[in-house]
Amino acid sequence: MRIDLHLHSVASGNSTNWWVKSLGFGFETRESYTEPHKAYELATSAGMDFVTLTDHETIAGASTLTHHHNFVVGEEVGTQFPEDGGKADILVYGLTPADHTELQSRRANIYDVVAYLREANLVHVLAHPLFEVGAPLTREAVEKRMALFPLWEFINGSRPSQQNRLAQRIAEQVTGSDLRSIAARHGLPMPTHTRIAGTAGSDDHGGVYPGSTWTELPHCTSPQDVLEAMRAQQVRPGGTHGSVQKMSSTAMRIIANAAQEGLHDAKSQPEEDAALPIQRLMPGQKKEVKKVLEYLPFLNALDGDQIRSLLVGRYESQLRMGLGEASAGMPALTILSSLGSLVDAHLPITPYIGVHSYFGRERSKTRHIQPRLLDAPADPIHVGAFVDDLQAVHGVSTMYRQLNKVHPQDNGDRITLVQCSTMSAEHVVSLRAITSMSLPFYQGRSLGVPSLLDVMDHIAEQDYDLLHIATPGPLGIAALVCGLTLGIPVVGAYHTEFGSYARILSGDSIVAEIVEGVVRQFYERCNVVMVPSRSTADSLVERGYRLKHVDVLPNGVDTALFSPQKRSEVLHAELGGGKKLLLYVGRVSGEKGLDEFARAYAAADRDDVHLVVVGDGPYREEMETLLGDRATFTGFLAGDELARIYASCDVFVFPSTTDTLGRVVTEAQASGVPAVVFGIGGPREAMRGGETGFVIEPGDMHMFMERALWLADQPTVRARMGAAAASYVSAMDWDKVYEQLMDKFRRVIEDEVANIALTVAT
């Protein structure tokens, strides 16, 4: 037998709900617009064998349904703890008008309410037990709720699943002995129960989901049987938890009914006063506001899925249009000029974002109060890592692809990689792209632009403890917005000097400043920024970045793939005809310092030295023309083919002064090849100058080339440095990097919990 034990009707009166109070339509709204008889019909049509109404502080609606043989009179009574002001809602069943009057007179003190419930032998349930209102839910506060209530609402159909499940987990672990000890400790009367059982109800306000959440009972033939089964704790919760879709549909149904009821009043106001509250949401758009008000009532003709499809379709269409306007001309400037249309594009989905924000805050509260309430080891953490351009061939994508190959830790901690792409990858979540966006200055490369709502839905569904954002691209920006909206800590990874790249590739300092400013805004909103080197951290501080916390991202390399054992003398001869081989691996582009390096190499005019260039990019054609047969260009290589080339060359050269990471320097050293780099950024910190290669003063290309050629001429020194390089990076395997990274993530989460606790305490 089933009964939805938490259901509202229009009798509940004017709204106290956050989503209705904050709408600002300028007219009164109700808790619900569902007539009592309609609520009854909806519940029975959803398969409920018995029906109840639990309107706020009234049985007026319930009293109209008592002629039904399967109806149980109910009420939701709001009360509070006098010692701290903490609020609690109690669902009461089988009460009479006299009981209602008495309970209402005692509402100011929960102990008086419970005393009467026990005295009158009224069945009662603590609704949404961990909904924190009025005072922080301390361990003491929860213990008092345990001693007072034999029935808890384990599934509230309007509350997040995390909150419901934690309540059930806490309640089910308590014993009769525990309850007696708790009551004695807090000076409460001895409890009438020896355990806590759980019920469930939809808590439906909009007439959308009655009966979607229910309590299962043994066979009952009358309302009295239902009450007896509940007294005996013969109950079991069932059905669905709260969700963004359910609450959004409910909210919009209430909005539509409120608009329909109040539209006449709004229209009768003077033109200059009409809809002023909602005008704050859409300033300067009075005609659009009036259209919104006029169309709202028609939402009643659509179900939740239809409404969402309509609004999301509008949002995606406007977003494509806005990004299309930003795709022509100077990218940075056109994007800035179209920011207004991009922001407006998101207006249709603001109801869903608002509900997501509310659910996110509630999940965050649950996450933070759990350590206060449970004597148990910390739960495994789940990190969502959002990577734009994951399938590209560069150091950033390589790092995350390598991390994705590492098995999750034994303690259950894990990272889920997320991309925005039509290309599938093993153990990677691929979110659909609404459209694509060309990468400024990188011809032929583009990034997928996700739906903000898709990203938010995914994050909420996965219940990530932390978001790690690899790059400030379209997916990264969406993930940051979601983290801020949902109250989830965000760790941003700073891998690329975007401002420097923009300056070099565009030749325009104004563009560089715009890019730098946008990037700064992104990282300043992260809880922690992880950088590939200490010098990068220092540089960000010097450039005025106001970061909350900075940490160094551990570096890793696949030592099984990149190894001195991969050296092939045959390949060495094929590449350079027996000459000494200099090797460059990376993007063939101006920001890598290749222009000046190529000219210096050509000027050296060494017939016994040959340059191998692995990679591709916009500078390749010009570089090939300049160097002719003095260099071999292989294009992009990967896997064992790339590893064999690394190990088969003699000296690795990396003339970039803009790289924050320089992963290729680590791969070369793992292959037993000494490197020559400039003393700046990640490459400098990826090696030991004088031991595993040479570190040159930034900008001194003459010395850079001199050291590279000298090292090519010294086989004994090369062998010693190569062996030292391989030994140096041998400890940088990805398993260890994964472990270090998860330790850092856990500390961020623990710090966030501590900060929330401190805020609550003060």
pLDDT tens digits, residue range 549-602? 999 887 788 888 999 999 999 999 999 888 999 999 998 988 889 999 999 999
Q: Are 513 and 499 in contact, with CB atoms under 8 Å apart?
A: yes
The Cβ of residue 580 has, within 10 Å, a number of other Cβ atoms equal to 19
Short-list 191, 201, 178, CA closest to 89: 201
Query: For 484-533, what is each residue's pLDDT tens digit?
Result: 999 999 999 887 766 565 555 556 566 667 667 778 888 999 999 998 87
> Residue 168: is its pLDDT beyond 80?
yes
Dihedral sign for Cα 10, 15, 20, 23, please.
Answer: positive
Q: Which residues contact 703 (CB under 8 A, 6 or more apart)?
A: 696, 697
Short-list 687, 676, 762, CA closest to 724: 687
Q: pTM, whole model, 2 decimals?
A: 0.80
Q: Which residues contact 471 (CB under 8 A, 6 or more apart)?
A: 387, 388, 389, 396, 493, 495, 496
Rounded to whole angstroms, the Cα distance separating 281 from 343 reads 13
Of residues 723 and 355, more confidence is placed in 723
The enclosing H or E element of 602 equals helix 594-604
Mean pLDDT over residues 347-352, rounded?
Answer: 80
Question: What is the amino acid identity at position 527?
Answer: N
Rounded to whole angstroms, the Cα distance separating 538 from 536 reads 5
Residue 422 has φ and ψ, to the nearest 5°, of: -85, -10
Q: Are 477 and 522 in contact, with CB atoms under 8 Å apart?
A: yes
Question: What is the amino acid identity at position 431?
Answer: L
CATH class of 564-732: alpha beta
Q: Which residues contact 555 (CB under 8 A, 6 or more apart)?
A: 532, 661, 663, 666, 682, 686, 732, 737
| Confidence (pLDDT) at 214 | 98
Domain ranges of the chain: 2-246, 381-552, 564-732
Burial of residue 400 (CB within 10 Å: 0-12, 13-18, 19+) is buried
Q: What is the DSSP code (8-state) at residue 2?
A: E
The residue assigned the tokens 């109840």 is 52
Query: For 214-234, what is each residue's pLDDT tens digit?
Result: 999 999 999 999 999 999 999
Indicate the angle between helix axes 620-627 and 594-604, nearest 10 degrees: 10
Q: Are strands 550-552 and 528-531 parallel, antiparallel or unpaired?
A: parallel
For residue 76, the cross-strand partners are: 56, 91
Rounded to whole angstroms, the Cα distance separating 634 from 2 reads 70
Pick the CATH number of 381-552 from 3.40.50.2000, 3.40.50.720, 3.30.110.70, 3.40.50.2300: 3.40.50.2000
Short-list 545, 581, 601, CA closest to 712: 581
For residue 237, the cross-strand partners are: 215
Picking from 110-119, 220-229, 322-331, 442-451, which range would have the lowest pLDDT averaged per residue?
322-331
User: What is the SS3 string spanning 206-237?
Assistant: CCCCCCCEEEECCCCCCHHHHHHHHHCCCCEE
| Confidence (pLDDT) at 337 | 47
> Residue 274: is its pLDDT beyond 80?
no
Rounded to whole angstroms, the Cα distance separating 707 from 561 reads 28
Pick the CATH number of 2-246 from 3.20.20.140, 3.40.50.720, 1.20.1600.10, 3.40.50.2300: 3.20.20.140
Burial 168-188 (b: 16+ CB within 10 A, else e): bebbeebeeebbeebbeeeeb
Q: Are 110 and 88 in contact, with CB atoms under 8 Å apart?
A: yes
The enclosing H or E element of 734 equals helix 734-761
Q: Do domains 381-552 and 564-732 have the same CATH topology?
A: yes
| Confidence (pLDDT) at 361 | 86
